């Protein structure tokens, strides 16, 4: 069994390939954004303040998921469950803050979609929206793990599921940081 230890778990490997795949999607979108930016009728977008809060939230959630993993490995089950739930809640909070951010646009009378909308803002919505869906996927994964953990009948100490979920969680976090810097930078 020692040989297996050295090898990366196939599911983890699969996740890394999936991350590459998701990255391609966002690379496609951001390069489309860059191409469009060089064209006429492009508006400089103002990142709403709310996005700073959401960024902080998702960063914090990355820390908590890592702590949860640590707790699991130390068999601190109560702590582990608590941190898991906190992470999922932070994920949901992130989405809420993102939505709030987009509502700020509406307050400024900037149209994201529909007649009179500008592609620069539509891009922001489309790209962050797709990212949000990926965060939601992560929340679902964490929720499933959390439910399993809270349900005492299936007691499992395997850290692999959480390790995979945590890697994914860090990935969506990093992806958002990239997008956030991208949007701010591209001004």
Partner 1 sequence: MSSETISHGHAAEASVHSHDSHEAHGHDHHHEESFLTKYIFSTDHKMIGKQFLITGIIWAIIGGLFSVLFRLQLGYPDASFPILEDLFGKWAAGGRISNEFYYALVTMHGTILVFFVLTAGLSGTFANILIPLQIGARDMASGFMNMLSYWFFFLASVVMFASLFIQTGPASGGWTIYPPLSALGQASEGSKLGMDFWLISMALFIVSSLLGGLNYISTILNLRTKGMSMTRMPLTMWAIFFTAVLGVLSFPVLLSGAVLLLFDRNLGTSFYLSEIVVKGEILPNEGGSAILFQHLFWFLGHPEVYIILLPAMGMVSEILSVNSRKPIFGYLAMVGSLFAICILAFLVWAHHMFVTGLNPFLGAFFVLLTLLIAVPSAIKVFNWLTTLWKGNIRFTPGMLFSIGFVSLFISGGLTGIFLGNSTLDIHLHDTYFVVAHFHIVMGVASFFGMFAGVYHWFPKMYGRYLNNTMAYIHFWVTLVGSYLIFWPMHYSGLAGMPRRYTDWSNWQSFNQFQDMNRFISTVAMVVFAVQILFVFNFFYSIFKGRQVKSENPWGANTLEWTTPINPGHGNWPSDIPEVHRWAYDYGKDGREFIPQTEPIGADESKH
Binding positions for partner 1, rule: CB under 8 A: 1, 3-4, 7-8, 10-11, 13-15, 17-18, 20-22, 24-29, 32, 35-36, 39-42, 112-119, 122-123, 126, 130, 137, 140-141, 144-145, 148, 160-162, 164-165, 168
Q: Closer to partner 1 by CB, 9 or 49: give it.
A: 9
Q: Closer to partner 1 by CB, 58 or 164: give it.
A: 164
- Secondary structure (3-state) at 160: helix
State how far the Cα of 64 lies from the Cα of 73, in Å rounded to an integer. Answer: 14
Are 99 and 66 contacting, i.e. CB atoms less than 8 angstroms apart? no
State how far the Cα of 153 lies from the Cα of 150, in Å rounded to an integer. Answer: 9
Minimum CB separation of residue 59 from partner 1 in Å reads: 21
Minimum CB separation of residue 3 from partner 1 in Å reads: 5
Q: Closer to partner 1 by CB, 28 or 181: give it.
A: 28
* Contacts with 105 (C-beta within 8 Å, 6 or more apart), sequence order: 48, 112, 121
Minimum CB separation of residue 52 from partner 1 in Å reads: 25
Are 135 and 170 contacting, i.e. CB atoms less than 8 angstroms apart? no
């Amino acid at each position: 069994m020692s040989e297996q230890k050295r090898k990366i778990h196939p599911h983890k490997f699969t996740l890394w390939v999936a991350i590459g795949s998701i990255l391609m999607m966002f690379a496609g979108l951001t390069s489309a954004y860059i191409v469009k930016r060089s064209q006429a009728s492009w508006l400089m977008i103002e990142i709403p303040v709310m996005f700073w809060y959401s960024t902080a939230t998702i960063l914090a959630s990355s820390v908590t998921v890592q702590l949860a993993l640590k707790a699991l490995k130390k068999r601190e089950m109560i702590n582990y469950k608590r941190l898991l739930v906190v992470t999922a809640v932070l994920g949901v909070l992130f989405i809420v803050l993102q939505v709030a951010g987009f509502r700020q646009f509406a307050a400024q009378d900037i149209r994201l979609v529909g007649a009179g909308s500008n592609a620069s803002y539509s891009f922001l919505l489309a790209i962050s929206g797709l990212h949000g869906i990926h965060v939601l996927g992560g929340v679902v994964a964490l929720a499933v793990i959390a439910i399993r953990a809270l349900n005492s009948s299936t007691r499992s100490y395997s850290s692999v599921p959480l390790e995979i979920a945590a890697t994914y969680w860090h990935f969506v976090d990093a992806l958002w940081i990239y997008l956030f810097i991208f949007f701010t930078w591209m001004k």
